[in-house]
Amino acid sequence: MTVDMTAPAPLPDPADYGFTVVAESGLPAEHAALAERVRRLVDATAHSTADPAVLAEAAEEVDRISALLEGARRETGAMLHRRVDGRDEYTTLTNAVGAELNPAAPPLRLAGAAEGVRGEVVLGGAYQGPPGLVHGGWIAALLDQAMGHAAVVLGMPGLTANLSVDYRRPTPLGRPVEVTGRVTGTERRKVFVAGEVRVDGELTAEGTAVMVRILPLR
Ligand SMILES: CCCCCCCC/C=C\CCCCCCCC(=O)SCCNC(=O)CCNC(=O)[C@H](O)C(C)(C)COP(=O)(O)OP(=O)(O)OC[C@H]1O[C@@H](n2cnc3c(N)ncnc32)[C@H](O)[C@@H]1OP(=O)(O)O
């Protein structure tokens, strides 16, 4: 197996697949700011001990806000385009891991690192599995995203065909979690990737995956 770091393959253009492409530069900053506020709302809702009357009042307020936003709805499959370090990068605009505009997504922002990609995120109680700990499914999702993104950075976006995770230590809620991903090899359309989750430098989970590259249509 080899990893060709020098000659990234031509990127598939999502527009060729019929997807709408939205430029990151065209998104209002207020949208990400709103999503951040909604994350706070999700956490407050999940943990609230308020009286029934307060809960009912909050539900009505949320209804009002939902109606305010639902009038101008973008289609679900829209792709986000950004230029990073002089190259094009595409991801789904509402990606379940890391999309700034998706309040259900943990705000993991991945960037190129010495060997692959790296990012940090703090997961609150909305991502809980066992008491005080991050749900294992979310840990798998963080790894999937970091490993998939490592392939994207090398110009080889793909779909996860196989994903394996070893949970080494419990991952606590409310603490910065470091997520890394890297490409370890390629073989035809297969991109072999690996990733790690660490808290305070201690490995809490590690994974490997096989991504199968999406090829350009032309
Ligand atoms: C349109 C433009 C897009 C632009 C870019 C955007 C994309 C990136 C987006 C955002 C980046 C951020 C990162 C995201 C990270 C998260 C990613 C996910 O959550 S993906 C969702 C979950 N995964 C699925 O839903 C896949 C479902 N499976 C399939 O669709 C197919 O099985 C697929 C595409 C994986 C393979 O099907 P085949 O028909 O295209 O190809 P065959 O010939 O079967 O396989 C190709 C090679 O892969 C191996 N392979 C297939 N399945 C395998 C498996 N399970 N394990 C190991 N190898 C496997 C085969 O043995 C073959 O290898 P041999 O070349 O012959 O050696």
How many of the other CB atoms lie within 10 Å of CB of 40? Answer: 11
Task: Note the pLDDT tens digit of each residue in 98-145.
Answer: 999 999 999 999 999 888 999 999 999 999 999 999 999 999 999 999
Instruction: Name the pLDDT band for 7 (thresholds 50, 70, 90).
Output: very low
Ligand 1 close to Cβ of residue 160 (< 6 A): yes
In angstroms, what is the span from residue 72 Cα to ligand 1's centroid? 33
Let me know: does 175 contact 153? Beta carbons within 8 Å.
Answer: no
CA 159, CA 170: separation in Å to the nearest integer? 28
Let me know: does 134 contact 123? Beta carbons within 8 Å.
Answer: yes
Give, using CA atoms, the residue closest to atom 3 of ligand 1: 14
In the chain the domains, ranked by start, together with CATH numbers, are 107-213 (3.10.129.10)
Task: Note the pLDDT tens digit of each residue in 166-186.
Answer: 999 999 999 999 999 999 999
Ligand 1 close to Cβ of residue 161 (< 6 A): yes
Ligand 1 close to Cβ of residue 215 (< 6 A): no
